[in-house]
Amino acid sequence: MSYLPWLSQYPSGVAADISLNDYPSMAALLEQAVARYGNRVAFHQFGVDLTYRQLDENSARLAAYFQKDLGLKPGDRIALMLPNSLQHPIAMFAALRAGLTVVNVNPLYTAPELANLIKDSGARAIVVMEVSAATVEQALVHVTIEHVIVARVAEMQNFPKSVLVDYVVRKKKKLVPDWTIAGAIAFRTAMTARLAADFTRPALNRETRAFLQYTGGTTGDPKGAVLTHGNVLANVLMFAAWMKPAFRESGEISLVALPLYHVAALVCQCLVSLHMGNRSVLVMNPRDIPALVKDFATHRPTFVGGLNTLFTALMNNHDFGALDFSALRNTFAGGTATQPAVAERWQKLTGSRVLEVYGLSEAAGALTANPVTLTAFEGTIGVPLPSIRIEIRDESGLAVRTGMPGEICVAGPVVMQGYFNRPEETAHVIGEDGFFATGDIGIMDERGVIRIVDRKKDMILVSGFNVYPNEVEGALFRHPDILEVAVVGVADPQSGETPVAFVVKKEPGPTESELIEFARTSLAAYKVPKHVVFVNDLPKTPVGKVLRRQLRERLVNRI
C-alpha cells in the first residue's frame, strides 16, 4: 500500500480498508438485520413503530405484489416519490428485494421535472404520497407510466388515530390537492394483497443495479447516477466502521430530518442504523421547526444529521434552547459548508460537536468525514473513509503539491458505474484509472485532512485571481447582524467577474457600504463584494443548499 497520510488521523480500531463480503446484496442486509434484531424498532414515525421483523414481512408482501400483480421484472425501474415516511423503507426494500432499480424522486418536484425523470429513467411504476399525487397526474399528460401506487399519510396509523390524522391532513391543513389517476392503487392494498411466502427471490449480487440517483438538478438537467447493490453496501459498511467508536452496541436513536430521497441521509443514517440494529425516527417535514423541536424532546436522539440552515433554524427557536441534550452525542453535517459560528453555537448549546461529512450522489453517500474523536469543529471535511482513495489534481489531471488547491478526485468501491444512458458525460468525469472528478475544489494538508474551497463551477475569476464564494460568505457571516449570506459572480467589464453578496439581515442591520467595509477587514481587496443585495430569504433546495444559479439569474434580470 502506498503512503496514505490520512491514516494517522483514524480513530483506534478503524481499519484502512473494509471487508466487502458481509452482504452479497441489499436484500441480505435486511434479512441478516432481521435475524439479529427481530423485534427491535427499526423505524418510528407519528407514534407508530415499525420493527425489523415487520419491515421484512411488509416489504416481502409488497415485493410479491410487484412481481405477481404488476408484472415487474428484475432490472425494471420504479420511482419512489415519498417524503420521510414508514412507507419509504418498505417500498424501497420491496423493490430492491425484487431486483428492481429504485429511482428516488424529490416529492417537491414540479410536473415537468417529474416528467423529465420518468422519461429519462424509463420507470414503469411509481409509488407516491397522496400529497404529491396531483403532480403525478399532471406529469402523466406528457409521459406514460404503467402503474401508480398512492400512499396516504394516515394509513400506517392504528384506528382511530388514522381517522384523526387523515382529517387533519385533508380537511384542516388541506395538504392533499384534488387528483384523479385512472387505475391508481392504494399502497396499503398493494402491501397486504399478497403473503410474504408469495415472494420469489431473484438472483441478486453486488453488481445488480440498485438505484438511479439523480443529481445535477440545481445546476442543469438531472443525470441518473447508476449505483449497484455493491456501491451502496460499501458505503454502509465504510460509514458504520467509521462510526463504531462512537456508537453503543444498542440503543442508538437517529433523528432523520434530511430527506431519504437524498442518498446521504438514506445510507449514512437509515441504512447504517439498520446494519447496526438502531432506531431511525423519520421526520416528514423538517421545515416545521416547532414539530421538529417536539421530536427532539420526545425521542432524545443520540445521532442527528443536518446542515447549516437547519441548525440555525433550530437554534433560533426558543423552545429548542430549553431542551435536555444529554443524550445527543453525534451531530453530522453535510450537503453544504457549515459556518464556524453556527457550529460553535451548536456545540455550546447542545454539547455535541458538529462533524462534517462530504459525499456525492455519484459515490453512494459519504466519502470523507471528521473523526468521531474530534472534540471541536475544525471547518474541514475530515479525511477519506476506509477503502477510499483521494487525490487533489490540477486541470491536466496531475496531483498537486500538499497544501495547494485542486479538484477533488476519488476512487473506491462506492464510485458509480456511470450516468444512466450518458456514456460521454460518464467518460468526462471517470478516468481510465477509475478516479471520479467531483467538480469540487479542495486542499489536502500534510495530515491528509481536506478542506473544501468551493465548487469548481461556482469559482469567481477576478482579474485572473480565483475567488471562492465559501470564503467570502464565511467572512461576511461573522457580522453579528447577518442571518444568511450567499455570494455569486457577475460579469464585470474591468475585472472579468466580481463578487456580489445576497444577504438576509436582522433589522435594521448594516447598510451595503457598512457591510462592504466589514468585509475589507478580513478579505483581500479583489475578494470583497462590489455590491450587496439585501433579500428576505435565499432560494434553496429542499435539502437546504442555496441555489446560486437562481441568484445569478436575478442579477442578470436586474441588469
Give residue-wise pLDDT tens across range 74-92.
999 999 999 999 999 999 9
Q: Give the pLDDT band (50/70/90) at residue 103.
A: very high
| Single-letter amino acid, residue 284 | M
CA dihedral 397, 399, 403, 407 (to 10 degrees): 30
pLDDT for 128-149, tens place per residue?
999 999 999 999 999 999 999 9
Model confidence pLDDT, tens digit, residues 382-434: 999 999 999 999 988 999 999 998 999 999 999 999 999 999 999 999 999 99
The C-alpha cell that represents 235 in the structure block: 458505503
Q: Confirm or reject CATH 3.30.300.30 for domain 459-558, answering yes or no.
A: yes
Q: pLDDT at residue 198 above 90?
A: yes
The Cα-based distances of 104 to 128, 136, 212, 499 in angstroms read: 11, 14, 7, 35
Q: Is the bond preceding 160 in cis, omega lying within 30 degrees of 0?
A: yes
Q: What are phi and psi of 383, to 5 degrees?
A: -125, 165
Above 90 in pLDDT, residue 29?
Answer: yes
What confidence score (pLDDT) does residue 113 get? 85
Q: Tell me the domain boundaries of the chain.
A: 48-204, 459-558
Residues 275-312: tens digit of each pLDDT: 999 999 999 999 899 999 999 999 999 999 998 888 98
- The whole-number pLDDT of residue 218 equals 34
User: Which pLDDT tens digit goes with each residue over 473-490?
Assistant: 888 988 999 998 999 988
Handedness of CA 409, 414, 420, 424 (dihedral sign): positive
- The DSSP secondary structure of 335-393, one letter per residue, reads SSPPPHHHHHHHHHHHS--EEEEEEEGGGTEEEEE--TT--S--SS-BEEPTT-EEEEE
Q: How many CA atoms lie within 13 A of 378 on its CB side?
A: 19
Q: Which residue has the higher pLDDT, 160 or 323?
A: 323
Percent of the chain with pLDDT over 90: 69
From the list 222, 215, 291, the residue with the least C-alpha distance to 257 is 291
337 versus 356: the higher-pLDDT residue is 356
Angle between helices 26-37 and 52-68 (to 10 degrees): 140
Q: Which residue has the higher pLDDT, 58 or 341?
A: 58
pTM comes to 0.84
The CATH class of the 48-204 domain is alpha beta
